[in-house]
Amino acid sequence: MGKQLIIVESPAKVKTISKFLGKDFDVRASVGHVRDLPSNSLGVDEAQNFAPHYEVIENKRNVVSDLRAAASRAATVYLAPDPDREGEAIAWHVAQLIHDQARDIKRIQFNEITERAVKDALAHPRELNENLFEAQQARRILDRLVGYKISPLLWKTVKRGISAGRVQSVALRLIVERELEREAFVAEEYWPFHALLAAGVPPEFKAELWKIDGKKAEIHNAEDAENFEARIKGLPFTVESVEKKKRNRPPSPPFITSTLQQAANQRHSYTARRTMQIAQKLYEGLELGDRGLTALITYMRTDSTRIADEARDAASKFVEENFGKDYLPPKPRIYKAKGGAQDAHEAIRPVDVTLTPDEVKQYLSPEQYNLYRLIWSRFVASQMACAIFDDTACVIGCGPSQWKARGEHLVFPGFLAAMPKSREEQDLELPPLENGQVLDLKKIIKDQKFTQPPARYSEASLVKSLEELGIGRPSTYAAIISTLQDREYVRIEDKRLAPTDLGRVVCNQLVEHFGRLMDVGFTATMEEGLDKVAEGGENWVELLNGFTSHFNPSLEAAAKNMRSVKGGMDSGLPCPECGKPTVIKFGKAGAFLACSGYPDCHYAASISTGVTCPACGEGQLVEKSTRKGKIFYSCDKYPKCDFALWQKPVPKPCPRCGSAWLVEKKGRNGTILACPTTGCDYTEEPKDDE
């Protein structure tokens, strides 16, 4: 009898698994997908119940040959791609390619790459799950139908080489509509007031203006601010009420894919794609000195907060031994998955909770350490007691006004003892206060503010919205965002996703002609349909028939009615050479201005920021990008003038020094406008800031 053959996805897993299975097992990798729909044709026969035509991927022919040869020598073949629908599809395709060589084919899956988990999977093999495969196949065919049939319309009407995606296009719509909200936003002036007060003993504290004459305080201009300040001048600040209560703050559940991507983006500015790349390494295994190749976390594509009983017990034991019995909750914490979650796998957690981040830090890259620390801390904290705070709420009267002050004091850290410290965990204490107590006013602090438009999506907030709206699944979030950037439909500005002119045009074309496809609710319904296919509750062919019954008529209408913008969109600017209107066109390097009088006039230029070059005084500062897509601004007279800068120039004069322009810079609370002149420290918050 031959060896037992195990086929995994990643070559990195081969080393980890081979280490503890020994010489009786031959572990090989498919290196991802081995078959797919053809790259040069639709590959789907709609007339024959959407029968797909699969081909071996060109650069996988040698891999397939090796797997077939290994299967012919094996007593049993265990297919062990990742434990999700895509992994099931890979297993299915491998099985189809080796079935005539293999004696016996089984499917195994494990949520963590440990000796215990792998051997347990080998002891409990199963048959391939046809429902999971068909759900993934239906998704692939849906995406192929949309991309292959809509993209040529976009080539014809917008720009050759661009494409549409079923889920990515809906995500693009969210980003574009948020930008439209920002542009339509009208800022309103308001003046918040704070009083810095003292009670005879430290600390001094701030109280915020709450009510004036019994109504919510609303001060909209400088005149009203001065009038109010005059009304309270010289009047005492007296404590009217003090309310104290204890507050229990429970820990968050362990990470799922979306919350891990959000936390990594918020704390470390990692993109969703980068987060998943780092997590993949932690899952597959890293060299840890004497421990050798060791997997650190469980599978990282999951929408379930469930954890195994033995993992929960191990966490409780670790907490008791390292923090004390008081840090355990009254009973073990069990987290339920949200409605709509597939709940196929555990939450993301450390494989061995006793392997602390500091213990393995020397073997990890900074990024790997940061992510492992996030996952480990969140998991340990999820099995700990609540943090306990003493909260104080105080109402203070001053003439016609009432002011509010709040304080909190951490009484018992609970789960916070296991979490990386942040500014959020700092005490905001009030001094001892009593009803009727007169406070000493140190100063009145008033500020001119303007209401802000809704913020652009960050990667974290977009992932959160996609999850809440039911768009995509854990394995797709990173791909959605990276695809939008790769297609140059969005770009990163101040760590936020901003639509490009090309992205706006594509979105407008799709919304106008494929309203149902671009509808958020419809996309979520399709995801639910795919879930039902995976559960065996819906036939995949019927699902596709339902989709094409609406999609095909829209496609026919769009082919007749989609308006071409290849001639350019009106820019509202005259041509500096002939005076005719200029238009915005899309080229290989992005959007640019061109004269509508072409070919009589050949004027073309990058889109100007409206700021004259401060170096030569002749050119305009225009937006450009590096090879890696990073935006910068330079003179359009290059190479005659090589002036360039990273900050976005804004055609607004500095009121302090007279500079003809300002630049956007990142401040503590977001983007600010600042004077670029050396020695001038003028700054302001732009009214359209996020």
Model confidence pLDDT, tens digit, residues 591-634: 778 888 888 888 887 777 778 898 888 888 888 777 665 778 88
Which pLDDT score is estimated for 137?
A: 96
Report the mean per-residue pLDDT for the chain.
Answer: 89
Name the β-bridge partners of 631: 625
pLDDT of residue 413: 93
- Render pLDDT for 164-212 as a digit per residue (tens, 0 to 9): 999 999 999 999 999 999 988 888 899 999 999 999 898 999 999 999 9
Over residues 529-558, the mean pLDDT reads 95
590 neighbors 500 (Cβ within 8 angstroms): yes
Report which of 554, 469, 488 is spatially closest to residue 517, judged by C-alpha positions: 554
Q: How many CB atoms lie within 10 A of CB 171?
A: 29
| 8 A C-beta contact, residue 348 and residue 255 | yes
φ, ψ for residue 340, nearest 5 deg: 95, -10
Average pLDDT for 429-455: 92
Residue 26: what are its φ and ψ, rounded to 5°? -110, 110
Q: DSSP letters along 68-98, please?
A: HHHHHH-SEEEE---SSHHHHHHHHHHHHHH
- Assess whether pLDDT exceeds 90 at residue 492: no
At CB < 8 A and 24+ separation, what contacts does 50-57 make? Answer: 50/141, 50/541, 50/544, 52/137, 52/140, 52/141, 54/93, 56/97, 57/33
What's 9's DSSP letter?
S
Question: Residue 7 — very low, low, confident or very high, per pLDDT cuts 50/70/90?
Answer: very high
What is the structure's pLDDT at 104? 93
Rounded-to-integer distance, Cα 198 and Cα 437, Å: 11
- The answer, yes or no, to whether residue 2 has pLDDT greater than 80, is no
Q: Residue 687: its pLDDT value, please?
A: 45
Report DSSP letters for 505-533, one per residue: HHHHHHHHH-TTTT-HHHHHHHHHHHHHH
621 neighbors 635 (Cβ within 8 angstroms)? yes
Give the other-Cβ count within 10 Å of 362's Cβ: 9
Distances (CA, A) of 553 to 48, 50, 163, 512: 19, 17, 20, 14
Distances (CA, A) of 679 to 58, 662, 682: 61, 14, 9
* Mean pLDDT lowest among 121-130, 346-355, 548-557, 635-644: 635-644
Strands 604-605 and 608-612: unpaired
What secondary structure letter does DSSP report for 446? E
Model pLDDT, residue 667: 61
* pLDDT of the residue at 681: 80
Distance of alpha carbon 143 from alpha carbon 164, whole angstroms? 9
> ω into residue 203 within 30 of 0, thus cis?
yes
pLDDT (0 to 100) of residue 19: 85
Mean pLDDT of 376-381: 96
Identify the top-confidence range among 293-307, 432-446, 472-486, 593-607: 432-446
8-state DSSP, 392:
E
| pLDDT, tens digit, 9 for 90 and up, residues 671-685 | 678 888 888 888 876
Q: Where are the alpha helices (DSSP H) in 112-221?
A: 115-123, 130-157, 168-184
Active site residue 299: yes
| CA dist., res. 261 & res. 255, Å (int) | 9
The stretch 463-475 carries a mean pLDDT of 88
Q: Please give the C-alpha separations between residue 641 and each of 19, 98, 627, in angstroms, as whole numbers.
A: 61, 63, 20
**Residue 342: per-residue pLDDT:** 52
Task: Please tell me the predicted confidence (pLDDT) of residue 54.
Answer: 96
Marked catalytic residue, from 78, 299, 372, 477: 299
Higher pLDDT, residue 395 or 638: 395
Task: Give the model confidence (pLDDT) of 51-89 as tens digits.
Answer: 999 999 999 999 999 999 999 999 999 999 988 888 999
Range in 142-151, 163-172, 475-484, 591-600 the model is least confident about = 591-600
pLDDT value at 337 more than 70 = no
Mean pLDDT of 406-424: 84
pLDDT at 187: 85
pLDDT at 122: 95
Q: What's the rounded Cα separation, in Å, for the pair 220 and 549?
A: 54
Residues linked to residue 36 through DSSP beta bridges, in sequence order? 55
Cis peptide, bond prior to residue 639, ω within 30 of zero: yes
Strands of 185-301, DSSP E: 189-190, 193-198, 205-212, 215-216, 237-249, 286-287, 293-294
* 257-268 vs 272-284: helix crossing angle, rounded to 10: 110
pLDDT greater than 50 at residue 690: no
Provide the pLDDT for residue 638.
Answer: 84
CB contact set of 550 (below 8 Å; sequence gap of 6+): 516
**Sign of the alpha-carbon dihedral angle for 141, 146, 147, 152:** positive
CA distance 283 to 267: 21
Contact 319, 383 (CB under 8 A): yes
Confidence of residue 688 (pLDDT cuts 50, 70, 90): very low
User: 601's torsion region: left (phi>0), alpha (psi -120 to 50) or beta?
Assistant: beta
Q: What one-character DSSP code corresponds to residue 580?
A: S
Contact status, residue 528 vs residue 494, Cβ threshold 8 Å: no
Q: Of 204, 212, 244, give the one whose Cα is nearest residue 394.
A: 244
Q: Are 272 and 287 in contact (CB under 8 A)?
A: no
Q: Is the pLDDT of residue 380 over 60?
A: yes
Integer Cα distance of 127 and 603 in angstroms: 65
Q: What is the CA radius of gyration of the chain?
A: 30
**Each residue of 350-360: pLDDT tens digit?**
999 999 999 99
